[in-house]
Amino acid sequence: MPNHALRDLRVVEYAEMVSGPMCGKMFADMGAEVIKVERPGRGDEARGHPPYPGDVPHPEKSGFFLYLNTSKKSLTLDPATLGGAEIFKRLIADADILIENMPPGHLANIGLGYEILHALNPRLIVTSITPFGQTGPYRDWKGTDLIEWAMSLTGFNTPTLVDDVAKENPLRAPGHAAEMMGATNAAAAAMMALFHRDLTGEGEWVDAPCWQATVNTSKLEMAAYSYVGIPFSRQRANVQVGLEPLPCRDGYIYTLWAADAHWRALKTLLGNPPELANEIFDTHAGRHQNDDIMRTLIREELAKHDMEHLVTEGQRLGLTIGPVHTVAQAAHNSHLRARGAFVEIDHPVAGRFEFPRSLVQMSGTPPHSTRAPLLGEHNVEILGRLGYTSEDLQGLRAAGAI
């Protein structure tokens, strides 16, 4: 039995898709009891999101849902119904944290606004994760991962080193990076609020927007503008140190040759070809000025070598160099395997599959994932604990509350 750091915490999660559920997962994997409130019937929208084993959709088999909801309990409940709101309030009464990612104002509209929840349980920490936050002119804007990502400089800067702006439109990162950033920020802020509560005795409201979370990941690019007056540009010609995956014989590598020492190491790695001995490349300024020629020559040389040789030998020479793996290569990588970066989880409906294990590793109280719940799997357990009889449950079911 893993030693769970947060086993004394009770968390209610009223959230769908990525941001709220990921935040809830972080608490659940650390041992908190996380009760996931799911829409009766359909459940979390993520249950309808691929991948599925064999690409056959099934609400209990979505790999997307199964990863984001490990270690939780599922309660089907519609807090917008009268009976549902009553159950929600009883859940809240002894919870430490509520995680929600509904549009701003939704909870207030169904009579469960922050003031009401706070009056019900003054020690409750309400963690709201939204695209744009609880205040400001974009408060009610619709956001998705693409929108939140594209509106940041990190998004504008993806991909880097653009040659033709007309053809290379800004790209979203693989996965749901902006939503994940909002989720981990919310989890960190909710933990802060717990320590705050230890000092003040009071719960509070955490406002964790995904857009601001993503904007905050280009601090250097923003400072270059506000301090130096350099407006951001994604065009290759305007970038001082150009980094990008470069092809070698059997794949791609990624390296940096900004410093003179790196440049010398790179030349050694490539066997000191005479083409690179040209003294115009010997200084940083010279390399920048002759970027086109130099890059072409480097590509020609790299094409003669294998990825593994370049990386192993390059690192030995002190070069900052790494392999560009595909997802499958990463999934089989011996180092990641040795670290235990993936964990096998068995599920009664979906089957047994591997998943990414945890965002960080800990020696004393490591995050530990158990399988995601079936839809409404814990209805009887949780409602029974709250004092509802099996007769009550029939009535609630008939009213669409659970």
Partner 1 sequence: MQRLPLEGIRVADFSWIINGPQIAQWLATMGAEVIKIESQVYIDIGRTNPAGMADRVAGVNRSGFYHALNYGKKAITLNMGNPKGRDLAHEIVRRSDFVLECFPGPTAEKLGLTYAEMKKLKSDIIMISVSLLGKTGLEPSRWVGWGPMACCFVGMFDAQGYPGGPPRQTGGTWPDYAIASSVVFHALAALRHRNRTGEGQWIDASMGETVIGQMHEWFTDYFMNGRDRRQWGNRDDVMAPHNTYRCKGDDHWIAIAVANQSEWEALRRVMGNPSWSDDAKFADQLSRWTSRDELDVHIAAWTRDQDHLELAARLQAAGVAAGPVLDSAELHNNPHLWEWGYWWKMDHHEVGERILPGMPVKLSGAPQLNYSYPPDLGEHNREVFGGLLGLSDAEIKLLIEEKVIY
Contacts of partner 1 in 72-131 (CB under 8 A): none
Q: Which tokens is 255 given?
A: 């390296």
Tell me if 88 sits within 8 A of 104, measured CB to CB: no
Answer for which of 80, 116, 120, 224 binds partner 1 (CB under 8 A) is 224
Give CA–CA dist 173/160, Å, rounded: 12
* In the complex, minimum distance from the CB of residue 274 to partner 1, in angstroms, rounded to a whole number: 28
Binding part of the chain for partner 1, among 73-81, 97-105, 275-283, 319-327 by CB under 8 A, reads 319-327
Strand partners, 254: 322
- The reply to whether 153 sits near partner 1 by the rule CB under 8 A is yes
Judged by CB, which is closer to partner 1: 192, or 277? 192
Judged by CB, which is closer to partner 1: 290, or 320? 320
- The reply to whether 225 sits near partner 1 by the rule CB under 8 A is yes
Under rule CB under 8 A, which residues in 21-40 are in contact with partner 1?
26, 30
Answer for which of 41, 53, 105, 271 binds partner 1 (CB under 8 A) is 53
Strand partners, 241: none
Binding part of the chain for partner 1, among 84-92, 103-111, 199-207, 270-278 by CB under 8 A, reads 199-207
Judged by CB, which is closer to partner 1: 95, or 150? 150
Judged by CB, which is closer to partner 1: 367, or 376? 367
Q: Is 130 left (phi over 0), alpha (psi -120 to 50) or beta?
A: beta
Give CA–CA dist 127/204, Å, rounded: 9
Answer for which of 16, 148, 248, 302 binds partner 1 (CB under 8 A) is 148
With a CB cutoff of 8 Å and minimum separation 6, the contacts of 122 are 201, 202, 203
CA separation, residue 132 to residues 19, 74, 183, 369 (Å) = 13, 28, 13, 30
Output the CA torsion 356→358→361→362 (10° steps): -140
Answer for which of 273, 318, 395, 400 binds partner 1 (CB under 8 A) is 318
- The reply to whether 326 sits near partner 1 by the rule CB under 8 A is yes
Under rule CB under 8 A, which residues in 338-397 are in contact with partner 1?
338-339, 341-342, 353-365, 367
Give CA–CA dist 35/33, Å, rounded: 6
Q: How many CB atoms lie within 10 A of CB 207?
A: 17
- The reply to whether 71 sits near partner 1 by the rule CB under 8 A is no
**AA letter at 340:** G
Judged by CB, which is closer to partner 1: 231, or 387? 231
Give CA–CA dist 391/11, Å, rounded: 27
Answer for which of 81, 101, 152, 379 binds partner 1 (CB under 8 A) is 152
Give CA–CA dist 183/27, Å, rounded: 11
- The reply to whether 278 sits near partner 1 by the rule CB under 8 A is no
